[in-house]
Structures are given as structure tokens and as C-alpha cells.
Amino acid sequence: MNGLHHAEFQSPIGIVEIVGTDDAIISILFSEKNTVDVPVDPGSPQVIVDCQQQLEEYFKGQRMEFDFPVTSTGTPFQQKVWAALTEVPYAETVSYGAIAKAIGSDKAVRAVGNANSKNKLTIVVPCHRIIGSTGKLTGYAGTLTRKEWLLRHEKEFAEHAQTLK
């Protein structure tokens, strides 16, 4: 693997830390820091620059999908859960149970929640779109306040995009 590159930027809901190689993003996580210490600069690998640009477009309501390369390491079960997360449409939510069913492990709801919490590709692998069976917002490593913001943001943007059609 190539050396790791780190960058940060200020989003509307906190600092986002990006970690990647020359070829792929391996981590996008919210930070609890108050200031950006390592801004993306022109010397950063293109994948880091693309990641920041696309995330900024997402936060501005200009992007629903991402096309920069990502990679993640996890157990085969975690990989199945993360792949299922990417199938949840923009601005929609599904339950942990629905993800468990989608991967053929109906009874593994808690394990799905645990795998969800290990996702290091926040927003791009949309773990924020997974909710409790009662419709309540539950568990989000980036804080429930951010989860609520992301879901509201996506809903508002999706509704706006529909009115433009």
C-alpha cells in the first residue's frame, strides 16, 4: 500500500477528516476538533482532492453520488453490510433489520448495527440512512445530531431536485 495521506475540511456539521493512499480513500470521519489542522492542498493526491470536492458538493446539495475510489478493510460480514448500505437510495432510510435481511442474515440485526458502527467511509457508505425498526434514529458514530442533519439535508435536496424536473 502507498503511504497514507491526511486532510481535513470544515463541513456545515463539523470537521471531516479524510485519509487515503495515492489511489483510494480509506477513511472519511467526523472529528471533534475545532480547527482544521491539515487542509487539502494542491500537492495532495488527486483522490484526496476529488474526495473533498465531492463531499463539499454533497454538503451544498449539488451531489447525490460519489465516484472517487474507496477501499475498506473488515470481516466478510462487515463487507457484506457495507455493500448493502451503498444500495440504500439517497434521502431514504431502512432499518437495521432490513439490512440484515438483505444480506441473508435475518437474525443478525445487532451484528449489522455493530458492522455499521465500524464503517470508516461516512456519507459515502451511507450508514446514516439506517434507522431503528420503530423509525427512531439510533446509533451513529458521528453523533445523532449529525445523523439527523444528514437525513434532513438529503430529504430537502431530493425534494428540491424533484421540483426542478
d(CA 94, CA 73): 24
Question: What average pLDDT score do residues 119-142 get?
Answer: 84
**Alpha-helical segments (H) within 6-125:** 46-59, 76-85, 96-102, 109-117
Strands 130-131 and 94-95: parallel
pLDDT, residue 159, reads 78
**CATH for the stretch 76-164:** 1.10.10.10
SS3 30: strand
Cβ–Cβ under 8 Å, residues 19 and 27: yes
- The neighbour count for residue 55, using CB atoms within 10 Å, is 22
pLDDT in tens, 87-108: 999 999 999 999 999 999 999 9
Residue 40 pLDDT class (50, 70, 90 cuts): confident
- pLDDT over threshold 60, residue 165: no
When computed from its CA atoms, the radius of gyration of the chain, rounded to whole angstroms, is 16
Altogether, the residues listed in the chain come to a count of: 165
SS3 96: helix
Virtual CA dihedral for 148, 149, 154, 155, nearest 10 degrees?
Answer: 60
Domains of the chain by residue range:
5-59, 76-164
Cβ–Cβ under 8 Å, residues 29 and 120: yes
- pLDDT over threshold 50, residue 1: no
d(CA 136, CA 95): 9
pLDDT in tens, 49-69: 999 999 999 999 999 999 999
Question: Which of 84, 99, 127, 131 is flagged as catalytic?
Answer: 127
d(CA 159, CA 16): 26
Residue 163 pLDDT class (50, 70, 90 cuts): low
pLDDT, residue 45, reads 94
Active site residue 127: yes
Residue 18: strand pairing partners: 7, 28
Question: What average pLDDT score do residues 122-137 get?
Answer: 87
Dihedrals φ, ψ of 26, to 5°? -115, -15
Global pTM reads 0.90
| Closest of 28, 35, 45 to residue 14, by C-alpha | 35
